[in-house]
Structure 1
Amino acid sequence: MSDTSSNTPATETVASAVTPYAAHAVVPRPVVPAWLLLGALVLAVTSVAGLAVAWHGLDRQRALEQELVRRQDASRGEASEAQAQSKQAQDLARDTAAKVALLDARLAEVALQRGQLEDLIQSMSRSRDENIVVDIEASVRVAVQQTVITGSAEPLVAALKQADDRLLRYKQPRFEGIRRAVARDLDRIKSLSVVDVSTLAIKLDEVVRLLDDLPLLASAERDAPEAAPAKRVVKAPAAAASVPVADGEMSQWLGQARQRWDDAVKLVWGETRSLIRVTRIDHPEGMLIAPDQSFFLRENLKLRLLNARLALLSRQFDTAQSDLRDVQETMGRYFDVHSRKVVAATELMRQVTGQARQITVPRPDDTLAALAAAGR
């Protein structure tokens, strides 16, 4: 078709060229219209394009069919696998449902046990708090009784400190009021000047130890240094130089006689002074005590001091002060009050007498009130 279309213009050219010369000899062929040739050409191109498209469509359809078959096979395999997995999932779901039911039953049991446990813990906590309050109150009341019996604040202070330590370990808000009350009572009790009985007992023991070495009044008078004998003073006769030589022998005899008389008088006076002594004694019985009675005197004073010591330990301060006053009076009567040991022993007893006094320890009313309020 292409060849025909390409030859047509040449023929027309030749025909047009030879027409003037051989018009009479050549019979002209019928002229084909151009649009007809163009239509034929378009038809041919369209046919070829249609055949190409149809061929391509067939190839595509064949490829699609192959892909579809392959996908069908894959889908069939996946379907079978999905069916197997679905079966496994159903079995797993049944197992899971059974396990969930079992877990629900156990969870309900655990929830019940938890509720019971919480109730038990709350009851134990309440009972523990109540037991703590009751225990602290009992210990404080026992300490108050011990304080009343012994007169010492140490049992009450120790009980309050122990209560504060226990309340601090638990750290409960409801115990803060009790701790504040305990702190107030501790400050009020510690502000008192409590009698140190142990120190007073040690001082009395020291007096008992010194008692064997204290000098008695009679022994002190006997041991006093004797008066020094009078010195002999030899005086030469004043008139010896003035007498005449003839009267020398008489004057010498008279001088010797006067000197011997003076010596005899001085000797007699010295012996008399050593035997007789004038002393002012306020308590004459102190000088009249016999040496064998001094032992019983000292032992009697020791017994009085031991009684005073026992009275101090038992908080009977009036009895202790009475015994100490008797001991001081006896020591002032029979012992040498100028001796340093007697002065030291008297000072120790005076200190004990001044410090041994009854002190009323206040009751921990704030703590007891706070404990009673917390126990309600």
Structure 2
Amino acid sequence: MKEETPALTLPSPSPAAEQVEPSKDTATASVAGAASLPSADVPRSGALPGWALLLAVIALGGAGVAGWQAWSVRGEADGLRAELARRLTDSDLQVSEVKALARQQQDVIASLQGKLAVVESKMEAAEGQAAALESLYQQFSRSQDDGVIAEVDQAVTLAAQQLQLAGNVEGALVALQSAEARLAVHDRGQLAPLRRALATDIEHLRRLAVVDVSGIALRLERLLDRVDVLPLTFAGEVEAVQPEVSTPLVTEGGSKVLDFAAQLALDVWHDLRSLIRVERLQQGAEPVLLAPSQSTYLRENLRIRLLTARLALLAGDGRSYAVDLAEARTWIERFFDSRDEGVQLALAELKALEAMPVKVERHDLAASLSALRLFQSRGGREPQVEPPEARPSDARPEAGGARGATVNPGS
């Protein structure tokens, strides 16, 4: 912008000055008219020179006032011109500064736009990496979930087998608690129904009457080990018959034919005695039990009774368990020496074991198995709501707005 001196030269004539000038002319005309009047009229108006003088003074005062006003207006106009020139100079300086700032802002905006483009490219690369990481995480999570579900399935199956086949409530509890602990470590929202089902089955098993199957089985095992050392009531085993040594018969003065016949008859008699054995059975003994002389069969039958009692214990068959133990106790009381301390301890142990309840209430783990099958049928995945992703295009209108805010130096 070019500096031009405003067309303010002299102030326009003031209305007061314009009014003063006509009054001055009027006063001059009145004075001239008064001078041109004949002297004869003066005596007729004696007060006229005084009025003329007064009018002249007034005219001179008006002229002075008008001149002072004109001088004052001119001074104010000069001041206004100086102030306007100063302000124009200041405006030019401010415009120059604004132009410089605008150029700096344009440079800064251009730099920011370049940086924004770099940031957008990095953001796109980061979004691609985030998507790849998310995909890898989903794959890892699914594989980890599959591993956890496989472990839980194995534990629940083992618990069901312990309950159904052996009636082992403690073993089933241990298996279910290990599965629940594994799910607690791998805390995922979609596994909550399975954890609730496991907790329900664990609570049901805890309320069942616990039978110490392993402890009872060990006590039966100790009884089995002592069967061979329990003394019998009757005598020991029959001694083996020693074969008699045949001595040749020698007859004095006899013939050899008679000696040979006698020796042959003796050998035949010995052979017949070795072929025939006479054994005695006690009165009232069961057919399955042999005579006391054959303690081996008695001990083996007693051992079989204890083994079948242990099998009934593992199967949870309380009736067969009690029958076998009662039969074994009856045999010990009948055929073994009740005065022996070992026999007395065995009888007391059998009575104590016979009084123990071994029948276990069956529990099928229906809640855990159904929840596990339902989770496996769904593939272990639930719909997930993904948060809206920030797109680079969302930031571009802001950059455009920043460009729109650029100050145009030419405006």
Code of the aligned partner of 2:349: L
In the TM superposition, what is the alpha-carbon distance from 1:175 to its structure 2 partner?
A: 3.5
Answering whether residue 125 of structure 2 is matched by residue 109 of structure 1, we say yes
> Of the two structures, which has the highest relative contact order with CA contacts closer than 8 Å and spacing of 6 or more?
1
Equivalent residue in structure 2 for 1:96, among 109, 112, 115: 112
Q: Which residue of 2 aligns with 1:352?
A: 353
Code of the aligned partner of 1:182: L
Bigger helix fraction = 1
In the TM superposition, what is the alpha-carbon distance from 1:196 to its structure 2 partner?
A: 0.7
Give the distance between the partners of 1:212 and 1:120, measured in 2 at CA.
67
Given that 1:305 and 1:327 are in contact with CA atoms closer than 8 Å, whether structure 2 keeps it comes out as: no
Point out the structure with max Rg over C-alpha. Answer: 1
Given that 2:213 and 2:313 are in contact with CA atoms closer than 8 Å, whether structure 1 keeps it comes out as: no
Equivalent residue runs for 1:1-376 within 5 Å: 30-32=46-48, 39-118=55-134, 121=137, 125=141, 128-148=144-164, 150-168=166-184, 172-201=188-217, 203-204=219-220, 304=303, 308=307, 311=310, 315=314, 324=325, 327-337=328-338, 342-355=343-356, 357=358, 359=360, 361-375=362-376, 376=378
Code of the aligned partner of 2:86: R
Given that 1:147 and 1:154 are in contact with CA atoms closer than 8 Å, whether structure 2 keeps it comes out as: no
Give the distance between the partners of 1:126 and 1:35, measured in 2 at CA.
124
Given that 2:306 and 2:328 are in contact with CA atoms closer than 8 Å, whether structure 1 keeps it comes out as: no
Give the distance between the partners of 1:306 and 1:63, measured in 2 at CA.
137
In the TM superposition, what is the alpha-carbon distance from 1:94 to its structure 2 partner?
A: 1.3
In structure 2, do the counterparts of structure 1 residues 110 and 212 end up closer, same or farther at CA, with 3 Å as the change threshold? closer
Give the distance between the partners of 1:59 and 1:370, measured in 2 at CA.
104
Give the distance between the partners of 2:139 and 2:56, measured in 1 at CA.
111
In the TM superposition, what is the alpha-carbon distance from 1:108 to its structure 2 partner?
A: 3.4
Q: TM-score, normalised by structure 1?
A: 0.55
- Stretches of structure 2 that go unaligned for 5 or more consecutive residues are 1-42, 236-282, 286-290, 379-411
Give the distance between the partners of 1:47 and 1:313, measured in 2 at CA.
149
In structure 2, do the counterparts of structure 1 residues 205 and 124 end up closer, same or farther at CA, with 3 Å as the change threshold? closer
Give the distance between the partners of 1:171 and 1:68, measured in 2 at CA.
81
Code of the aligned partner of 1:345: A
Code of the aligned partner of 1:362: H
Q: TM-score, normalised by structure 2?
A: 0.51
In the TM superposition, what is the alpha-carbon distance from 1:171 to its structure 2 partner?
A: 5.6
In the TM superposition, what is the alpha-carbon distance from 1:199 to its structure 2 partner?
A: 2.8
C-alpha deviations, 1:321-357, integer Å up to 9, x for none?
A: 7875565244313545477875553132122244474
Given that 2:170 and 2:210 are in contact with CA atoms closer than 8 Å, whether structure 1 keeps it comes out as: no
Give the distance between the partners of 1:40 and 1:166, measured in 2 at CA.
126
Q: Which residue of 1 aligns with 2:382?
A: none
Give the distance between the partners of 1:115 and 1:317, measured in 2 at CA.
57
In the TM superposition, what is the alpha-carbon distance from 1:363 to its structure 2 partner?
A: 2.5
C-alpha deviations, 1:65-116, integer Å up to 9, x for none?
A: 3333333333333333323222222211211121222223333333444455
Give the distance between the partners of 1:339 and 1:42, measured in 2 at CA.
170
Given that 2:220 and 2:306 are in contact with CA atoms closer than 8 Å, whether structure 1 keeps it comes out as: no
- Stretches of structure 1 that go unaligned for 5 or more consecutive residues are 1-26, 220-281
Which stretch has the larger CA shift, 51-60 or 209-218? Answer: 209-218
- What secondary structure is seen at the aligned counterpart in 1 of 2:48? coil
Given that 1:312 and 1:356 are in contact with CA atoms closer than 8 Å, whether structure 2 keeps it comes out as: no
Given that 1:153 and 1:194 are in contact with CA atoms closer than 8 Å, whether structure 2 keeps it comes out as: yes
Give the distance between the partners of 1:214 and 1:56, measured in 2 at CA.
152
Give the distance between the partners of 1:323 and 1:77, measured in 2 at CA.
120
Give the distance between the partners of 1:34 and 1:140, measured in 2 at CA.
141
C-alpha deviations, 1:222-252, integer Å up to 9, x for none?
A: xxxxxxxxxxxxxxxxxxxxxxxxxxxxxxx
- What secondary structure is seen at the aligned counterpart in 2 of 1:315? helix
In the TM superposition, what is the alpha-carbon distance from 1:157 to its structure 2 partner?
A: 1.6
Aligned Cα RMSD in Å?
Answer: 4.8
